[in-house]
Amino acid sequence: MKKTGFVSAVVVALLFLFGQLTVFAGEIKWKAQTSFPPMDSGTVHQAQGMVKVTNEALKGKLATTFFQVGQIVPEAEMGAALSHGVFDAAYMPPMARTEAGNIAFGLPFSWDSFDDVIEFYYDYGFLDWFRKHEEKYNIFVGCPLPWGPVTLFSNFPVNKLEDYKGKKIWAWGLMAAVVEAFGAKPVMFDPGEVYMALKLGTIDGVLWGPAELETVKIKEVIKYISLPAILDPLVFDWSINMDSWKKLSPDTQQTYVKVMKENIRPMYDRIAIENNIGFKKAEEYGVKTIHLSPEEAIRLKKVARETWDVQAAKNPANAEAVAMLRKFLEEKGK
């Protein structure tokens, strides 16, 4: 009886061990979806780029198939879908998942460089904080993906804060609150309709990225570019369903994290080229760039930063994240 019991215990242990090992055996298949259109520079360089570099680095261990927005679920459902494992990874704005994602995306007139973002996320500890926060929603935040500036493109000149008053401006997320604080009226609809809305005068301006001046031909339906940018750079991210992440072996996870971090800068640089082309093509087309005076820029910054308090008041997590960002910027003299 003792011998039989011992053998049974060994068999059970071996079956358990085999079951654990099979989790890491063979090539795991993932699905990933972007939340932006096919020709968007972020989709091309960051979303498809991340699938490409991770597939190459983990050949034989992990293979991710890329899907365009809407091919699995609509853009508005992506946060919940990622949380529930409808797909395994996503390229998306973090505020599409949680309120704290607004701070991860970047608050208006906060950081003003790629290096600031990387320092805040990796050296200052925000990525660790954000991963812990999103884990409650069954999501592992892979890496931040800085994209570029959020800039006003308009058919009215902005030389002072008061020039915003009464204007209808397409804006999304926290940027809408900033537009309203400036005295304008924020509007939001399908981004595919922005071109015609500007052409027909339905809206007076749009807060968008400079690459779209050329890729979506926004240069054809605006007269002015206003600088400085409201935020530079905005930050999307590459996030992963936590259950899917945990099925990877520790070695595979380590390689995945390494590859993500190594490719943040190259991907950003490719998008920066398109952003610079957008500015150049708009200038050639006759669009005028207006640089606010230092005094007016300070006024805009003050009003914009007052909207941070609204974000902080939404919940304790937001308050903690905003406080972390404020302290980081204060220490940098910004």
What is the residue extent of each domain of the chain?
A: 27-331
pLDDT at position 26: 83
SS (H, E, C) 45-77: HHHHHHHHHHHHHCCCCEEEEEECCCCCCCHHH
pLDDT of 19 above 90: no
pLDDT of 13 above 50: no
Retrieve residue 188's tokens.
């939001």
Beta strands in 167-324 (DSSP E): 168-170, 185-187, 205-208, 224-241, 288-291
Whole-model pTM: value is 0.88
DSSP state letter for 160: S
pLDDT of 53 above 90: yes
290 sits in which H/E element: strand 288-291
For 27-331, CATH gives 3.40.190.170
pLDDT of 194 above 80: yes
pLDDT at position 328: 97
